[in-house]
Amino acid sequence: MTLVSIIGFVLIIVGLWGMLTQNNIIKIIIGFSIIDTGIHLLIVSIGYIKGKTAPIIDSVLLKTDAVNQVVDPIPSALVLTAIVIGLAVTALMLVYAVNLYQRKQSLDINDFEELKW
Amino acid sequence: MINGIIIVLGIIMIASAFMAIYMRSLLSSIIAAGVISLLASIIYLLLAAPDVAMTEAAIGSGLTTVVFLYAFNKVKGRGEDNHG
Amino acid sequence: MVKRFLILLVLVFFVIMLLPLVSDIQPQTELNPLAKKYVKDGPDELGSANLVTSVIVTYRGLDTLGEVAVLFIATAGVGFMLRRRKGSKTNPQKKRESSEILQTGTALLTPLIFLFGIYIFLHGHLTPGGGFQGGVVIASAILLSMLSFPQSEINHKILNAIESLSGVLYLVIGILGIYLAAGFLDNRILPLGDFGRLFSAGAIPVIYSLIGLKVGSELVGILDSMQRSDS
């Protein structure tokens, strides 16, 4: 367990707690975006190696020596695209929330009981 | 040194996460959620991932907050003055 | 009360399920074999100084194509949900004009931010940054001018043309890779050039610029439809 992975884990749990306990739809989406950030922190912390630098080669960090001096580039690459997708998905969810609000003039999740049994 | 900074940032992030969930005002929740992303971008920089830090700072705390505010504006503006 | 208890139960189960996964993350001391291969062979094989870029654009290029497709679908969903109904086009309350300081400042800053975005995605293979970040910077430049000139309309024809053209060109370059180089989205269809120069690394700057234009125009589309739908 590294330090950053603990932070990410706690953020995931807090976000899930928020999603499950809150009634306001916007708050639920905020909980989702907290989970998003937590997962990104978790993935980036997997690739970190203590004391090594960013994987960009220049006149100080030579090609031949790069293997011993850089962190893992793959988690960075995965998270980078995941952040952009996260924005688009959050926007889509918010638009649905706005649409639901226009139907019922309410954002309380308990007012939407069409699918309840 | 770096561990100390990460611990402080982590405590602030978790506190803002609770604030984002339990704040009464929706606007404060949105801003607190933006703070989490902004601090996460500093942690990415400390973890030697500058690409991710740039993306998170621009998207996570910039555009996501703006999108949330647009949605908040639509939800708030209608409910108060005219029901129709 | 029962509900609270059930939620707590679910959360405890979730923690028990996820905890082994997190506690397995040990502080590493060296790269795993795949990363070692990417770091060792990447600079000579692809000519890109930023190894994250070479992983995104070439080694894992297919994944990036998939993610761009997801972004496109999400944007289409936003546009569909917020489409303007026919006939309800008249906007009763006029938006307030912004102050003159804001307008002048925006006119000064927008071209500079735009240029900065283009710089970021053109130098994606040399410095931190790339198509996704550059696209977001461009989108924020347009957001600034959208906020200070609320009356102005964005030309949707140009926006759609940029978006679809860059998407199609991205695919065409990918398919060219099959015929001219080793496989789909291979960047060696253009000469690799001198390591560390702007015009190097084969097709990586071209692909990343296309991704930047596509991401930028899609994010502008999201912001525009969220601002415009007054309903």
Residue spans per domain, chain C: 45-80+101-225
Domain membership flag for residue B82: no
Instruction: Give residue C88's pLDDT.
Output: 52
Number of folded domains that form chain B: 1
CA distance C48 to C58: 10
> Which residues 72-111 on chain C approach chain B with CB closer than 8 angstroms?
none
Tokens for C80?
A: 């569909």
State mean pLDDT over A71-78: 86
Closest-CA distance, A48 to chain B, in angstroms, reads: 6
Average pLDDT, whole number, for chain B?
84
The answer to whether the CB atoms of A85 and C63 lie below 8 A apart is no
CA distance B41 to B51: 10
Q: Give the per-residue SS3 of chain C.
A: CHHHHHHHHHHHHHHHHHHHHHHCCCCECCCCHHHHHHHHHHHHHHCCCEHHHHHHHHHCHHHHHHHHHHHHHHHHHHHHHCCCCCCCCCCCCCCCCCCHHHHHHHHHHHHHHHHHHHHHHHCCCCCCCCHHHHHHHHHHHHHHHHHHCCCCCCCHHHHHHHHHHHHHHHHHHHHHHHHHCCCCCCCCCCCCCCCCCCCCCCCHHHHHHHHHHHHHHHHHHHHHHHHHCCC
Q: Which residue of A has its CA nearest to C125?
A: A56
Largest Cα separation within chain C, whole Å, is 68
Residues of chain C with pLDDT under 70: 84-96, 229-231
Q: Angle A10-A13-A15 (CA atoms, 0-180°, nearest 5)?
A: 105
Instruction: Give residue C83's pLDDT.
Output: 75
Closest-CA distance, A108 to chain C, in angstroms, reads: 16
Domain membership flag for residue B19: yes
Instruction: Give residue C93's pLDDT.
Output: 55
Is the CATH number of domain A3-111 3.40.50.970? Answer: no
For residue A108, the 8-state DSSP code is B
Q: Which residue of B has its CA nearest to C125?
A: B51
Instruction: Give residue A71's pLDDT.
Output: 84
Closest-CA distance, C17 to chain A, in angstroms, reads: 12
The answer to whether the CB atoms of A105 and B29 lie below 8 A apart is no
Lowest mean per-residue pLDDT among A18-22, A113-117, B48-52: A113-117
C28 interfacial to chain B (CB closer than 8 Å)? no
ipTM, interface predicted TM-score of the complex: 0.83
The answer to whether the CB atoms of C39 and A73 lie below 8 A apart is yes
Closest-CA distance, A69 to chain B, in angstroms, reads: 11
With tokens 């900074």, the residue in question is B5
Helix (H, G, I), strand (E, B) or coil at A113: coil
pLDDT at A68 over 80: no
Tokens for B17?
A: 């996460």
Interface test with B, best of C136, C220, C231 (most B CBs within 10 A): C136
User: Looking at the DSSP assignment, which residues form a beta bridge with residue C28?
Assistant: A49
**Contact between residue B56 and residue A83 where contact means Cβ atoms under 8 Å apart:** yes
Helix (H, G, I), strand (E, B) or coil at B23: coil
Give per-residue pLDDT as tens, B40-76.
Answer: 999 988 888 888 898 888 888 888 998 898 888 888 7
Q: How far is CA C27 from CA A51, A79, B8, C23, C163, in A?
A: 11, 19, 20, 11, 42
Residue B84: pLDDT band with limits 50, 70, 90: very low
CA distance B53 to C211: 19
| Domain of residue B22, residue span | 2-77
Interface test with C, best of A10, A81, A85, A94 (most C CBs within 10 A): A81
Instruction: Give residue B79's pLDDT.
Output: 43
Q: How far is CA C181 from CA A101, B42, C190, in A?
A: 52, 39, 9
Q: How far is CA C72 from CA C76, C160, C167, C197, in A?
A: 6, 12, 10, 32
- What is the percent of chain C where pLDDT is above 90? 2
Interface test with C, best of A32, A59, A72 (most C CBs within 10 A): A72
Domain boundaries, chain A: 3-111
Give per-residue pLDDT as tens, A26-55.
Answer: 889 999 999 999 999 988 888 888 878 888
Instruction: Give residue C94's pLDDT.
Output: 59
Helix (H, G, I), strand (E, B) or coil at A60: coil
Alpha helices per DSSP H over B23-59 = 26-46, 50-55
The answer to whether the CB atoms of C39 and A67 lie below 8 A apart is yes
Cβ pairs bridging A and C (under 8 Å): 144
For residue B72, the 8-state DSSP code is H
